[in-house]
Amino acid sequence: MVAPGLATAASLAAVRSAIRAGISTGELDSIAEATIRGLGAVPNFMKEPGYRHTICSSVNDDVVHGIPGPRLLEPGDIVSIDSGAELGGWNGDAAISVVVPDPSRVSTVAERQKLSDVTEQSLWRGIAALASVAYLNHIGGEIEDY
């Protein structure tokens, strides 16, 4: 059960290291697929009828689970990547968000990175609340309070 999670994590690490201005979301998809298959796993999103990609990609205010393709990333974009792998009947699934570097707009990138960091910390606050709260709305309260 650990192996598909590790394959998923490896695919996201490879994609994260490739993210830069000028790369397409389709190229990121190819990187994720090669990584997962290289580890003997299968991209599990491709098992969804009609979906032929390894990742879902969303840029800036795109709705979640966007379809990768020819769109080129631009400096300062916030890109979210969701990836998954299946191995031995088990599935891994995870997502990351990355701010595309932009040396000419350091403060803009820093502001967007802060947004991404606060969003991630809010997620972890909500997850931590699962251990101690009695009602579902308390989890939302923990996230809002953060």
pTM of the model: 0.87
Per-residue confidence at 26, pLDDT binned at 50, 70, 90? very high
Quote the CA–CA distance of 141 and 129 in Å, as a whole number: 9
> Per-residue pLDDT for 144 more than 90?
no
Domain ranges of the chain: 2-101, 105-146
103-143 per-position pLDDT tens digit: 898 998 899 999 999 999 998 999 998 888 778 888 888 88
Quote the CA–CA distance of 52 and 44 in Å, as a whole number: 10
Paired strand residues for 97 = 80
The CATH superfamily assigned to 2-101 is Creatinase/methionine aminopeptidase superfamily (3.90.230.10)
Quote the CA–CA distance of 15 and 81 in Å, as a whole number: 8
